[in-house]
Amino acid sequence: MVKVTVCGAAGGIGQPLSLLLKQSELITHLSLFDIVNTPGVAADLSHINTKSKVTGYVGTAQLEEAIKDSAVVVIPAGVPRKPGMTRDDLFNINGGIVRDLAIAAAKFSPKAFICVISNPVNSTVPIVTEVFKQFGVYDPRKIFGVTTLDIVRASTFVSELIGAEASQLQVPVVGGHSGVTIIPLLSQVVGTSALSEDQIAKVTHRIQFGGDEVVQAKNGAGSATLSMAFAGARFTLNILEAAIRGTSGVVECTYVHLDADKEGAKAIKSVVGDDIEYFSVPVELGINGVQKIKPLGNLSEYEQKLLSEATAELKGNIVKGASFITEGS
Ligand code: NAI
């Protein structure tokens, strides 16, 4: 019995994400929660002849039933950006939404892996952490900020430059999930040594602000949904691959509390500073979630500079999220 609950399942990300998850043989029950429209989405998906049973729940009165006994809770609930907005501009509304969903998860699915897509991820992940602490069910190995879209974008954009096959190109992207906190480690990608400093700077900026290209092209109709659904499904299925099927060597960059692997975090903190609590890092996934935080590897001088530009903003985002719960909201 492997139940996966999508919170925000009727939304721009939630619908295609649920469709992709419906194709997985690893999921036996796909539970769809939203405050609107889930009965229709669930009825539609339930006609697809794959393994999982699909159920839909609408409104907070049905949240307990929707979320209870989940193996994974994926959260793409909340409002997306419009042109001119930063992810931080979404904090007040999405912070409250993520808090309420985290409370339900802590009460009814305390052992689930929680995959947070709702922005600002740099702050919404600390919100989930503090809620789980308040309920006494906190395990840092099980709470993830989904930054996979940054990695997916990086593979696409860099492959266009160096002529590699995008799906085969692994580009580590670390740090956080907004603007300058996104740090692509291009020096570690085979084939990038021929790029000029200017090309590196331009493609780095494109990875950091790639979300804006979509926000502007959609012109007020939201942010990335289809590419995010692809990335969110990849991340969720990788969690299941490692945790349920027991496959070893599954590695994804994801935004976690560094307590998730204190030993592995030592190498990270020696590079990024002792006072950084959360960071997107390469993580080897296992049956309990984070099995090992892997080192960042060698950083070029340019990447060191990106890192120093990222940390102040990231620390501020983390404090903002955590204090939303600890100091009341
Ligand atoms: P959307 O507006 O299309 O869908 C959001 C859904 O959440 C709606 O169906 C809405 O009814 C639902 N919702 C609102 N309050 C809820 C609650 N309390 N409980 C359950 N569901 C609730 O937005 P979209 O485009 O799907 O984006 C969702 C979130 O994902 C946004 O915060 C956006 O910024 C974020 N995002 C994150 C990315 C990442 O890389 N982590 C990439 C793209 C978007």
77 C-alpha vs ligand 1 centroid, how far in Å? 4
- State residue 328's pLDDT score: 81
For 248-300, the pLDDT digits (tens) are 999 999 999 999 999 999 999 999 999 999 999 999 999 999 999 999 999 99
Residue 93, in any domain of the structure: yes
Active site residue 177: yes
Tell me whether residue 14 is annotated as binding. yes
Q: Predicted ipTM?
A: 0.99
3-state secondary structure the chain: CCEEEEECCCCCCHHHHHHHHHCCCCCCEEEEEECCCHHHHHHHHHCCCCCCEEEEEECHHHHHHHHCCCCEEEECCCCCCCCCCCHHHHHHHHHHHHHHHHHHHHHHCCCCEEEECCCCHHHHHHHHHHHHHHCCCCCHHHEEECCHHHHHHHHHHHHHHHCCCHHHCCCCEEECCCHHHEEECHHHCCCCCCCCHHHHHHHHHHHHCHHHHHHHHHCCCCCCCHHHHHHHHHHHHHHHHHHCCCCCCCEEEEEEEHHHHHHHHHHHHHHHCCCCCEEEEEEEEECCEEEEECCCCCCCHHHHHHHHHHHHHHHHHHHHHHHHHHCCC
Mean pLDDT on 226-252:
98
**Which structural domain range is residue 122 located in?**
3-145
Instruction: Tell me the best of 17, 31, 34, 212 to mutate to test the pocket of ligand 1, counting ligand atoms within 8 Å of each CB and taking the most.
Output: 34
Residue 61 marked as a ligand binder: no
User: Is the per-residue pLDDT at 329 higher than 70?
Assistant: no
The tally of domains found in the chain comes to 1
Ligand 1 atom with the smallest distance to the CA of 87 is: 34
94 is in an annotated binding site: yes
Residue 325 lies in a domain: no
165 lies in some domain? no
CATH code of the domain containing 59: 3.40.50.720
Q: What residue ranges line ligand 1, CB within 6 angstroms?
A: 7-8, 10-14, 33-36, 76-81, 90, 94, 97, 100-101, 117-119, 121, 146, 149, 177, 222-225, 228
131 part of a folded domain: yes
Distance 192 CA to ligand 1 centre (A): 35
Residue of 92, 223, 254, 317 to mutate, ligand 1, most atoms within 8 A of C-beta:
223
pLDDT band at 141 (very low <50, low <70, confident <90, very high): very high
Q: Is residue 61 part of a domain?
A: yes
Closest C-alpha residue for ligand 1 atom 16: 77
pLDDT band at 82 (very low <50, low <70, confident <90, very high): confident
Ligand 1 centroid to 74 CA: how many Å?
A: 11
Q: Which of 29, 47, 177, 257 is flagged as catalytic?
A: 177
> Is residue 286 a part of any domain in this protein?
no
Ligand-binding site membership of 207 (annotated)? no
For a ligand 1 pocket test, name from 118, 131, 235 the mutation site with the most ligand atoms within 8 angstroms of its C-beta.
118
pLDDT at 26 over 90: yes
Q: Is 122 annotated as a binding residue?
A: no
pLDDT value at position 193? 94
Q: For residue 119, is it within any domain?
A: yes
Asked if the structure places residue 110 within a domain, the reply is yes
